[in-house]
Structure 1
Amino acid sequence: MIRTDDFREAMQRFAGPVTAITTIENGVPSGLMATAVCSLSAEPPSLIVCINKSASAHDAILRLGFFGVSVLPDTLKAFADHFARAKGADRFEGALWIMQETGAPLLAGASVAFDCRIAHAHDGYSHTILVGLIHEILLPNENADRCLLWHRKGFVSVASETPETEKA
């Protein structure tokens, strides 16, 4: 039997991109940080997001049927820390958000951002697994090609690669 502590330790060694999952209800934004996000299909363009059922934005996202996914660049580490620690609409302070047709707020400084509608929601034990059909893709920050990662309970950057000619 796998112990919960062993599972958590193992997952801390599994680096994942830091994303802000967002929605807005009655003019009030809500969101959460997530690393359980991945592409699903190019036809139709879709992705998978796993959201903890205890997250404050969980029920609103399911109720509204849409969400945004903003992949944070490594230049926004301070903002990521603020977003992760703040509560409710306070998470959105100090950043520019671009409102989408669905209503989802996307981070203007994101490396890439996706505006999604929920196609399917599946039970995933402590999480809900959302299949999001991508309604729009934003590439708002051309200079943010390195995403921020979550690894070992902290934010880290991807190491810069050395071109092959410099390695010799």
Structure 2
Amino acid sequence: MSEPLRTREPVPAPDTDHYRRAMGRFASGVTVVTTFAGGLDHAMTANALASVSLDPILLLVCVERDARFHDAVEEAGVWGVSILPARARATADWLSSRGRPLHGQLDRIEHHPGPVTGVALLDDALAHFECRTTDLHPAGDHSIVVGEVVSVFTPDHTEDALLYYRGRYGRLT
């Protein structure tokens, strides 16, 4: 026999500020996601990234639908992810600043083309992934972009990852 439903007092719907503060207590890694469209490199800082599947190997990233990057990644159909080391805070800040120039946004960041897709991958990253988009799902003011991983690279060096927690960058101590 199942337990009867418990009745509770009505609770007001959460507001976006409260939701943002609560989600800020979830520590995440910081990445740069890149693509190439319209003859230009496009890049954005992202912490909404997750492994989806091992068979096939799938990765997802959430992209704001109003962002320039959204149209670019949809057009290109391929994208890359570079996991940032703790010392790359300036890179994360730069690529998350709204209104930065699109032309030359990667000029001050050492990068190279990915071997499979040709998208920009950051030289000092802790790992790289190249992906081909398999699905794009509307989700509120973002889209969930799912991609099949077509290449993975992890350098021999290891160091602390850049983390994002409570609205600030940090590192494990």
Give the SS at the match of 1:57: helix
Q: Separation in 2 of the partners of 1:58 and 1:149?
A: 23
Structure 1 spans left out of the alignment, 5+ residues: 160-168
Percent identity, aligned pairs only, is: 32
What is the aligned partner in structure 2 of residue 166 from structure 1?
A: none
Does residue 1:94 correspond to 2:108, yes or no?
yes
TM-score, normalised by the number of residues in structure 1: 0.87
Alignment of 1:24-103 (within 5 A): 24-85=36-97, 86-100=100-114, 101-103=116-118
What is the aligned partner in structure 2 of residue 9 from structure 1?
A: 21
- The letter for the 2-side match of 1:144 is T
Question: 1:108: how far off?
Answer: 1.1
Shift in CA distance, 149/43, structure 1 to aligned 2, threshold 3 Å: same
Does residue 1:120 correspond to 2:135, yes or no?
yes
Question: 1:24: how far off?
Answer: 1.2
Larger Rg: 2
Structure 2 spans left out of the alignment, 5+ residues: 1-12
What is the aligned partner in structure 1 of residue 169 from structure 2?
A: 155
Shift in CA distance, 68/61, structure 1 to aligned 2, threshold 3 Å: same
CA contact (8 A) 1:32 1:55 kept: no
Please provide the CA RMSD for this pair. Answer: 1.5
After TM superposition, what 4+ stretches of structure 1 lie above 3 angstroms from structure 2? none
Choose 95-104 or 109-118, whichever is displaced more: 95-104
Q: Cα deviation per residue 1:101-136 (whole Å; 9 max; x = unaligned)? A: 212111111000100000111111111001110010
What is the aligned partner in structure 1 of residue 6 from structure 2?
A: none
Question: 1:90: how far off?
Answer: 3.8
TM-score, normalised by the number of residues in structure 2: 0.85
- The letter for the 2-side match of 1:157 is R
CA contact (8 A) 2:37 2:75 kept: no
What is the aligned partner in structure 1 of residue 4 from structure 2?
A: none
